[in-house]
């Protein structure tokens, strides 16, 4: 052990004594790591096994990437080809935004009473609140696209079905958010109002609503943002908006136009993001 620094030699000099005193601490700790190793190992095994279970072969992957490269090559330059098509796509984008806006708005309006029903501190009846919660969960766990398919069967193909689909899937999410916001709202203002002799309704109106309004408003905006994305795809099943054109273009392999439509979607979503971020900042900022 020569050639090492005096510190190292000094530390290693009483190695035996330390090994005696702290044997357990010097153990590399395989045993204590067993749990972590098992979880990671299991995860990796499942990951690899999935490739076989899902029929995903390497040759498939490689061949696919070659075709994908071809497709990406065919996308350039993105173009709508004619002006009339450009206006058509622009109109479809407008329809998409309309669907997102109306769906969000209707869901928010419908979710308000439901949120109060599902909140533990407003409705004392356990059964009512449990039932409300469960139905919200059920509605929430069905994807927007599935709702769209169901509504198409009811009101026929077109954007109206899209609005109803977005409304349904958001209704579940909003109801849950709303009830959680109500439950976490401070009950001090409520007590304050009840103590002045106000009714229970007044307590909720003046004690709870002002607390949750900004939270809820900013959530609505956030959902509008994410619904813009959802609304771009519900057209795939025929529920209106730009998705209809997009899926059609991909189906007939019009890659340049498809790329152009994707770009339009990207720009629209980015713009909506910006606007809603500003508004959300304003809503939350003003209340501070």
Partner 1 sequence: MDHTVVIPPDAQLAPLLRAYDRAVAAKHRQFFIGLAFMAGAFALACIGAEIDPGLFWEKLGNFTSYFNRLAHLDTGAVVLSDPAEWFWGLRRWTRLLGETLLMAYVGTVTGAVLAFCGCFLCSRNLVSSALLRIVIRRIFEICRTVPDIVFAMIFVAAFGLGALPGVMAIAIHTTGALGKLFSEVVENIDMKPVEGIAASGGSWVSQVRFGAVPQVLSNFASYAVLRFEINVRGAAVLGFVGAGGIGEELIVAIRKFFYSDVSAILVMIVVCVMLIDTLSEKLRHRLLAMDERP
Partner 2 sequence: MLVIDGMSCVFGQTRAVNNVSLSIPRGAFVGVIGRSGAGKSTLLRALNRLVEPSEGRIHWDNEDVSSLSGRALRDWRRRCAMIFQQFNLVGRLDVLTNVLTGRLAHTPGWRSNLKLWSADDRAIAMAALDQLDIANLAPQRADNLSGGQQQRVAICRALVQEPDIILADEPVASLDPRNARIVMDALQRINRHYGMTVLCNLHSLDLAHAYCDRLVGMAAGRVVFDDVPAALTEAAARELYGMEADEVLDAAPTGATQPDGVPAGAASNASAM
Residues of span 46-65 touching partner 2 by CB under 8 A: none
User: What does 11 bind: partner 1, partner 2, none (CB cut-off 5 to 8 Å by kind)?
Assistant: partner 2
In contact, 218 and 226? CB cutoff 8 Å: no
As given in the structure block, the two tokens for residue 196 are: 């002045």
Dihedral sign of CA atoms 160, 165, 168, 170 in order:
negative
Determine which residue in the list 6, 73, 197, 285 makes contact with partner 2, applying CB under 8 A.
6
Q: Decide: residue 127, CB within 10 A, 0-12 exposed, 13-18 middle, 19+ buried.
A: exposed
User: What does 58 bind: partner 1, partner 2, none (CB cut-off 5 to 8 Å by kind)?
Assistant: none
* Binding residues for partner 2, total number by CB under 8 A: 17
User: What does 153 bind: partner 2, partner 1, none (CB cut-off 5 to 8 Å by kind)?
Assistant: partner 1
Other residues' Cβ atoms within 10 Å of the Cβ of residue 270: 10
User: What does 42 bind: partner 1, partner 2, none (CB cut-off 5 to 8 Å by kind)?
Assistant: none
Q: Which stretch binds partner 2 (CB under 8 A): 20-28, 78-86, 213-221, 277-285?
A: 20-28
Residue 34 interacts with partner 2 (CB under 8 A): yes or no: no
Residue 38 interacts with partner 2 (CB under 8 A): yes or no: no
Binding site for partner 1 (CB under 8 A): 29, 32, 36, 43, 46-47, 50-51, 53-56, 60-61, 63-65, 67-68, 71, 94-95, 97-99, 101-102, 105, 137-138, 141-143, 145-146, 149-150, 153-156, 158-160, 162-163, 229-230, 232-233, 236-237, 240, 246-247, 250, 253, 258, 262, 265-266, 269-270
Phi then psi dihedrals of residue 39, to 5 deg = -65, -50
Separation in Å, CA 92 to CA 153, 235, 243: 22, 10, 8
End-to-end Cα separation, the chain, in angstroms: 66
User: What does 281 bind: partner 2, partner 1, none (CB cut-off 5 to 8 Å by kind)?
Assistant: none
Q: Decide: residue 159, CB within 10 A, 0-12 exposed, 13-18 middle, 19+ buried.
A: buried
């Amino acid at each position: 052990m020569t050639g090492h620094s005096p510190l190292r030699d000094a530390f290693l000099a009483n190695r035996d004594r330390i090994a005696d005193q702290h044997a357990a601490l010097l153990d590399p700790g395989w045993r204590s790591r067993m749990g972590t190793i098992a979880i990671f190992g299991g995860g990796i095994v499942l990951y690899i096994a999935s490739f076989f279970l899902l029929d995903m072969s390497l040759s498939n992957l490689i061949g696919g990437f070659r075709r994908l490269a071809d497709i990406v090559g065919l996308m350039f330059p993105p173009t709508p080809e004619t002006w009339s098509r450009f206006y058509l796509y622009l109109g479809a984008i407008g329809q998409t935004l309309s669907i997102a806006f109306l769906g969000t708005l209707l869901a928010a309006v419908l979710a308000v009473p439901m949120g109060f029903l599902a909140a533990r501190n407003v409705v004392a009846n356990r059964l009512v609140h449990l039932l409300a919660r469960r139905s919200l969960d059920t509605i929430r766990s069905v994807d927007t696209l599935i709702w769209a398919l169901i509504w198409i069967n009811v009101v026929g193909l077109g954007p109206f079905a899209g609005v109803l689909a977005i409304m349904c899937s958001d209704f579940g999410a909003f109801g849950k958010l709303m009830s959680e916001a109500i439950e976490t709202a401070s009950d001090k203002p409520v007590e304050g109002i009840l103590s002045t002799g106000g009714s229970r309704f007044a307590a909720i109106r003046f004690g709870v609503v002002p607390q949750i309004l900004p939270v809820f408003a900013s959530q609505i905006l956030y959902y509008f943002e994410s619904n813009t994305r959802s609304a771009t795809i519900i057209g795939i099943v025929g529920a209106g908006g730009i998705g209809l054109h997009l899926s059609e273009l991909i189906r007939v392999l019009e890659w340049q136009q498809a790329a152009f439509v994707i770009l339009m979607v990207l720009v629209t979503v980015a713009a909506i993001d910006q606007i809603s971020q500003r508004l959300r900042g304003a809503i939350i900022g003003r209340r501070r």
